[in-house]
Structure 1
Amino acid sequence: MLLRYPNLILILILILIIPVQTEEFKFRIENVKYQRPGSIRSKRDTFVRRESGVAQNVTHLLNDVLNNYDQHFRPGFKSGKPTKVYIDLFIRTMGPVADLAYTYSFNCYFRQKWTDDRLHFNNSGIGFRQLSLSMAMLDKIWKPDTYFWNGAGSYVHGITTPNRLVRLETDGTILYSSRITVKAKCQMDMSRYPLDKQACRLIIGSYAYSSDEVQYKWRIMGEDNGVKIDYESIADLPQFSLSGFKVYEAANLTRDKEYSALEVRFYFDRHFGYFLMNFYVPCALVVLLCWVAFFTKREATAERIGIGITNVLTIVLISLDSKSDSPKVDSPTALEVYIWICYLTHLICMVEFTVVHYHTKYNTGDPEIQEVERERLRQIIKQIPKNTNNRSYPSFKRRNAAQPVSITRSLPNKTTRFMSVRHPKKSEQFESIQLMRKISHMETTNTNVIENEVESSLNLESIRQENVGWRLYYWMIDHNIKTDPFGVAQNSISRIDKISVVVAPLIFILTIALYYDFYVNRQFKFHFDNDFRNF
């Protein structure tokens, strides 16, 4: 129906188009009105247009540079000269140093710099002498295949974006920097653990290009010969402290060919305070406790053996605790040698206890029997009248004798006692000796038999008849002894104990001095596989 009226269709189209054009015309007028000359909007638009123009120039420049560029060939391939790559490290953090896994790690800025003549450009159109490129540009140019010969799991940081940058200078020099964490193997000598020092090295080189194709050099920046360390950030390094480092110039390492490589060695000193307070001091105190037994009564066999066994078990516990944190090596470490020194010291003390105990039993007999004998002797001494002023015997007259008689007995606390008395007849001398022999042989009989025999023979009347008690009484008066003539209340000290108290500490101190001189004062020498010289 509308086709019959073409004029009507034309009118409707005009009605719809005219308002839209009017609105667009108004919008253009408003823009012209507010964009006065010198306004901020006009300056911004001018800057954007200029920036877009520079970007277009840089884009065209890079496209021209990459025209006929082959990234599979290294710089200087046609001339046959090796490409020189300059390396420098800026270490931000160090550690941990894992002595159980023989590895160490650190965080650094790893920079590589080389010159590619094919990438030189003219900066007259852009005004920049250096261009920051994207990672897409890095994938289009040649870069060295640098890797760590002794690496064990290094990675590039990628939070929030990959931490890498590429800068291109007008002469074709490229700076490639990345923030990485390096984890490398470290050949450690644990023979002096925990008094050791370690030297961990990092070897940097090319994976595929031989020394005829790519050569590595340290990049010297001021006083830093290729390596710079932020010492404030690594001050809290656990277990170790970084004492210094040393860089080595390029050298050739042989794998299937000769490859150019760089080396830096980091020197670490282990912290000794933890081991001193948890292993060395406790072991020394246990040894001192073992020496306390030298001052113990030698008849106290159970106490001495108890102290020795307790000390040995304590040393075993400390030894097991030390093995849980120490590295598993074939040769003994310094800590294990120290613990074995303490073991041997305890063994010597136990042997000394055995020798003293053997001689004590041989001379004095069983301590229980001796205790019965001591009690009976105390009763004898108590029954002697203390208020007698003359030396007349109650049961017979005093007689003169020509020779003294020595009466001896075996005592638990003294070796031998001599009592010199004058006896007129051999019969009385024989009877008194027989009585003293009965007293001295009490240790070899049964306790019940001893008590019955003592009750029947060791009474006041028998003492007066046999003349033993009075001889003891007058002997005490002559020697001005008031109590305990046989030393039953005194502690017995073996001559071996007296010698051991002085000799044992001296031997232990001398051994520790030799130990310190061997493990601490001796100079450290580091040995590496495939070690090469500093050129």
Structure 2
Amino acid sequence: MRSLMTWLFHFESVIFLWILSLIVLVHPQQLRYNKELSKHVTNLLDGLLKEDRYDKRIRPNFGGPPVTIEVNMYIKSLGPVSETEEVYSLDCYFRQMWVDNRLKFNASATGLSEFSMNWLFLDKVWKPDTYFVNGKKSYLHSITVPNKFLRLRQDGLLTYSMRLTIKASCPMHLRKFPLDSQSCPLDIGSYGYSNNDVLYAWLKSNKDAVGTEDGVNLAQYNLTGIKMKEEIRLSSRGDNFSVVAVHFHLKRHTGYFMLQVYVPCTLIVSCSWVSFWIDPQAVPARVSLGVTTVLSMTTLGFGGRSQMPRTSYATALDWFVIICFSFVFASMVEYAAINFLDKMTKDVAAKATKKKRPPSAEGEAQPSFILIRLLRDVALWFYRQFKDPWQLPKTPGSKFSQVDIYSRKIFPLSFAIINTIYWTSFMYYFDDEPPVREQVPMQTNM
């Protein structure tokens, strides 16, 4: 057994020495190969970028057809979206691809069909002056180094990739807020070249020219679709320029507004109806309940709206708050009407029981007495016409006005009918966007 262990130890030692010698012999050869390859690549790039052969100030195909810039994007995150500023943000990988025939090379010399260059190489070649037409404030990620690179293929195809955070404008139509949907555009074009020099197009070889990472979502919106298009626009200079555009279709989540506005406002309106079951003679109770509900509705519906969109027109949320406030205010007016009518009927009845005053000594009625008698007759007429609906019930022990009894049914029924009309109209009949007008060329100051 001991001799067997000794033999295995010697065998492992021989194998280790053989592998070590193989590494020592191969490693210098690999180093020499890498050194020669690096030298070939350096000579190749130096040859391509010679000053007498390549001028980075001149676009590819200069004097000929326009160079086509194929664009694609990969969305890492989307949002936030601000209604008050009408802007949105996104984090993405932005890639541009174009062919520069001046940079074609023979792959047989190096055995490589393409090279991946770092961001320093970008200063040596021509690049399109791409910008975001509706951009507000965008920046390139630069930690720990500028997040961009360039890839060169043997047929002269250049792939320029960078990671950007883009903040762009998003014109919003908020008449259905918060039951609305929005379409936020991102327009991409050349800052200085017309369509005679540079054309933009979405990447055809990629099924989804604008892709999204799994799990991309927003706090208040749901991304329902992405639409892309290519178009030629007219600039203020009088020439045309090429633009590619992508529209992010967003559907707003209504859960926050249901919990913070719709349900509380509905409950406050329901609380105002409690006064219909309180004795009209209990003035402090009914007045305090009415004032409390009105103030609560004012605070909830009209106060603390710093985060709400500031529009010159009423939104769907504004209409709902106005409806709720009207019902709460109507509850107070109902109690005021009860007191007014009750006092009026009592005054008219008291005057009706008085005996008629004798005429004046001269036998002629004074003008003031005639006016008073006329007003009395008018009040008596109104009293006789409306005494049945507005009088207190004659049932012994009952303390409620007929107005309160009718209001218990009329107010909830009216509120339910108006809510049905409100939700049906804003959910199914009102459009998110304004009516489509005649299409005219979009002008951009350039």
Q: TM-score, normalised by structure 2?
A: 0.80
Give the 3 Å change call, closer, same or farther, for CA 506–35 of structure 1 in structure 2.
Answer: closer
Q: Deviations over 1:193-222 (max 9, x none)?
A: 222211100000000000111000100344
**What residue is the counterpart of 2:98 in the other structure?**
114
Which residue among 227, 230, 241 is the counterpart of 2:222? 241
In the TM superposition, residue 531 of structure 1 has moved relative to its aligned partner by 7.3
Measure the CA separation in 2 of the matches of 1:338 and 1:55.
72
Partner of residue 62 from structure 2, selected from 56, 66, 77: 77
The one-letter code of the counterpart of 1:125 is: A
Question: Measured at CA, do residues 343 and 320 of structure 1 come closer, stay the same or move farther in structure 2, by a change above 3 Å?
Answer: closer
Give yes or no for contact 1:298–1:360 (8 Å, CA) kept in 2.
Answer: no
**CA 1:72/1:309 → structure 2, altered by over 3 Å: closer, same or farther?**
same
> By how many angstroms is 1:532 displaced?
6.6
Q: CA deviation at 1:143?
A: 0.7
Q: Does 1:343 align with 2:325?
A: yes
Corresponding residue of 1:63:
46
Distance 1:44 1:512, change over 3 A: same
* 2:158 corresponds to 1:251: no
* Alignment match, 2:366: none
Aligned length: 378
Matched with 1:318 is 300
For 1:179, the equivalent position in structure 2 comes to: 163
**Quick check: 1:90 aligned with 2:74?**
yes
1:44 paired with 2:27, answer yes
- Per-residue displacement from partner, 1:91-119 (whole Å, max 9, x unpaired)? 11111111121110111110000000000
Look up the SS of the partner of 2:126 in the other structure. coil
Q: Does 1:269 align with 2:251?
A: yes
Q: Deviation per CA, 1:462-490, whole angstroms, max 9, x where unpaired?
A: xxxxxxxxxxxxxxxxxxxxxxxx93xx2
Give the corresponding residue for 1:330. Answer: 312
Q: Which residue of the partner structure matches residue 523 of structure 1? A: 431
* 1:117-169 Cα shifts (integer Å, max 9, x gaps): 00000111100001112323211111100000001111111111111111101
Give the aligned residue type for 1:139: D
Q: 1:325 to 1:531 in 2, by over 3 A?
A: farther
Deviations, residues 368-394 of structure 1 (Å, cap 9, x unaligned): xxxxxxxxxxxxxxxxxxxxxxxxxxx
State percent identity of aligned pairs. Answer: 34
Report deviation, 1:86.
Answer: 0.2
Asked if 1:217 corresponds to 2:124, the answer is: no
Deviation at 1:250, TM superposition (A): 3.4
Residue 296 of structure 1 pairs with residue 283 of structure 2: no
Q: SS at the partner of 1:323?
A: coil
**How far is 1:361 from its partner?**
3.5
Query: 1:218–1:262: 8 Å Cα contact kept in structure 2?
Result: yes
SS in 1 for 2:102: helix
Q: Distance in 2 between matches of 1:228 and 1:348?
A: 54
Q: Deviations over 1:319-364 (max 9, x none)?
A: 2444122021111222221111111112222221112122334456
Instruction: Give 1:307 deviation, angstroms.
Output: 1.0
Kindly tell me: are residues 302 and 363 of structure 1, through their superposed partners in 2, closer, same or farther at Cα, counting changes over 3 Å? farther
Query: Residues 352, 241 of structure 1: CA spacing in aligned structure 2 closer, same or farther, 3 A cutoff?
Result: same
CA distance in 2, matches of 1:508, 1:37: 90
The aligned residue for residue 203 of structure 1 is 187
- Distance, in Å, in 2 between the alignment partners of 1:531 and 1:271 is 33
Q: Is the contact made by 1:253 and 1:260 (CA closer than 8 Å) also made in structure 2?
A: no
Map of 2:6 onto structure 1: none
Work out which of the residue numbers 300, 309, 315 in structure 1 matches 2:291.
Answer: 309
Superposition pairs of residues 279-294 of structure 1, within 5 angstroms: 279-294=261-276
Deviations 1:482-506 (Å, cap 9, x if unpaired)? xxxx93xx23221222221111112
From 223, 228, 236, give the equivalent of 2:211: 228
- The CA deviation at 1:270 is 1.4
Equivalent positions of 1:391-406 (< 5 A) are none
Per-residue Cα deviation, 1:208-237 (whole angstroms, up to 9, x for no partner): 00011100010034431x1111241x13x1
The verdict on how the C-alpha distance between 1:293 and 1:318 changes in structure 2, with shifts beyond 3 A counting, is: same
Paired with 1:183 and 1:253, the residues of 2 have a C-alpha distance of: 24
C-alpha RMSD of the superposition: 2.4
Report if the CA contact (8 A) 1:104-1:185 is conserved: yes
Closer/same/farther in 2, CA of residues 142 and 293 from structure 1, 3 Å limit: same
| Greater Cα offset, 308-317 or 290-299 | 290-299
Query: Within the alignment, does 1:169 sit opposite 2:153 as a pair?
Result: yes
Tell me the amino acid that sits aligned with residue 40 of structure 2: N
1:503 and 2:410 are equivalent in the alignment: yes
Q: Which residue of 1 aligns with 2:134?
A: 150
**For residues 38-79 of structure 1, what are the alpha-carbon distances to aligned partners after superposition, in whole Å with 9 as ceiling and x for unaligned?**
53133222111111111110110011111220011101113x
1:18-37 counterparts in 2 under 5 A?
none
In structure 1, what is the Cα distance between the partners aligned to 2:69 and 2:75? 19
Contact 2:194–2:241 under 8 Å retained in 1: yes
Higher relative contact order (CA 8 A, sep 6+): 2
Letter aligned with residue 502 of structure 1: K
- Unmatched runs of 5 consecutive residues or more in structure 2: 1-16, 348-390
Partner of 1:104: 88
Q: Is the 8 A contact 1:84 1:216 kept in 2?
A: yes
In 2, Cα distance between the equivalents of 1:415 and 1:499? 12
Structure 2 residue matching 1:228: 3-state secondary structure? strand
Change in CA separation of 1:181 and 1:338 when aligned onto 2, cut-off 3 Å? same
**Is the 1:301–1:357 contact (alpha carbons within 8 Å) kept by the matching residues of 2?**
no
Q: Does 1:140 align with 2:140?
A: no
Go from structure 1 to structure 2 and tell me whether the alpha carbon gap of 1:501 and 1:415 turns closer, same or farther (over 3 Å shift). Answer: closer
